[in-house]
A = this chain, B = another copy of it.
Amino acid sequence: MPNTMKYEKILDALEELLKSRTIQTISVSDIARTAGIGKGSIYYYFPSKESILEALIERNYEKPLDTAKTLARQTSIPPFTRMAMLFQACRNSSSEFMNQENSEGIPVSTHQERSIIHQKYLNHLVTELKPELTEIIRQGIESGEIHFDQPAALAEIVLIVLAVKFDNTLIPTTQEETQATIRGLISLLEKGTGNPPGSLNFLMSFHDDTK
């Protein structure tokens, strides 16, 4: 508890700098200056520049993912509703600090430079949420709302598609295309889980929020 303060300060500094620049253009000295500490101190808390970024990513994901997890455990709520909530949480966590700039006007190369972040995001989101979504689906199967015999696989498929589409830099497409794909996924889910067409449309709701 003595020194966590400075540790967090470093993360804050990087987070701040990351809003207007890419990791590659941010030097360790920049981080130190922004954090208001000496450069040497940085390496007292982190072994490398890369590790700072990883720690920041971890920090930012923990919160939304944790809430999503506890949310997912509310067995009183019907499975598909919880699924929708989980989607929502995904979406929020994704846009949290990935799309700090409206991605217009940023050259393609800059997108590329963020690849480590995006990859980490994809990995975290899917691996962390897969057990939760699997459990939700399993409960849905038991209660007869979902007809599919491979809950884990289904969970992973859904998460992969959602994560990739939410992070619009991995495969940049227009809003319309993204929506079309999500709609297709829902359609596929309906037929695949034995639900009538349109019954899962409410899963889309998370996607047309304000802004």
Contact (Cβ within 8 A) B192 A188:
yes
Contact (Cβ within 8 A) B157 A184:
yes
Task: Count this chain's copies in the assembly.
Answer: 2
Q: Mark A165-206, 1 if CB is under 8 A from B, else 0.
A: 100001110000100110111011001101000000000000
| Interface set, chain A 138-179, CB cutoff 8 A to B | 148-150, 152-154, 156-157, 160-161, 164-165, 170-172, 177
- Counting chain A residues whose Cβ lies within 8 A of the other chain, the interface size class is 35 or more
Q: Is A115 an interface residue (CB 8 A)?
A: yes
Majority SS of interface residues in chain A? helix
Q: Is A74 an interface residue (CB 8 A)?
A: no
Contact (Cβ within 8 A) A50 B109:
yes
A203 CB to closest chain B CB (Å) equals: 14
Residues of B contacting A109 in the complex (Cβ-Cβ under 8 angstroms) = 50
Contact (Cβ within 8 A) A122 B170:
yes
Q: Is A127 an interface residue (CB 8 A)?
A: yes
Q: Is A120 an interface residue (CB 8 A)?
A: yes
Question: Which of B127, B152, B153, B192 makes the CB contact (< 8 A) with A171?
Answer: B127
Binding site for B on A (CB under 8 A): 50, 109, 112, 115-116, 118-120, 122-123, 126-127, 148-150, 152-154, 156-157, 160-161, 164-165, 170-172, 177, 180-181, 183-185, 187-188, 191-192, 194
